[in-house]
Amino acid sequence: MQRRRFFKWASLILGGLYVLFAAVPGIGLLIEPLRRRNKRAASRRLLKLAHIAHHFREESDS
């Protein structure tokens, strides 16, 4: 096998592995909402920035 042909195949294989490595978590991220059974348990409550800042101010005063 010639060196150029080897590098061509090696780059294709490594590129394919890289794409597979990046695609698996992405696919999992897209499929996760479909796998959830209880939507209420999966919901998260977000805080406003003012509440978070107030909390950090209280901690720094202590």
* Residue type at 43 in one-letter notation: S
- Residue closest to 47 by CA, chosen among 55, 59, 39: 55
The domain in which residue 36 lies consists of 3-61
Query: What residues contact residue 36 under an 8 Å CB cut-off, 6+ apart?
Result: 42
The answer to whether the pTM exceeds 0.85 is no
For residue range 1-20, list pLDDT tens digits in order: 799 999 999 999 999 999 99
User: Which tens digit of pLDDT belongs to each residue from 5-61?
Assistant: 999 999 999 999 999 999 998 898 888 878 776 666 556 778 788 888 887 777 776
Which position has the token pair 């978590």? 25
What's the rounded Cα separation, in Å, for the pair 52 and 46? 10
Q: What total of structural domains would you count in the chain? A: 1
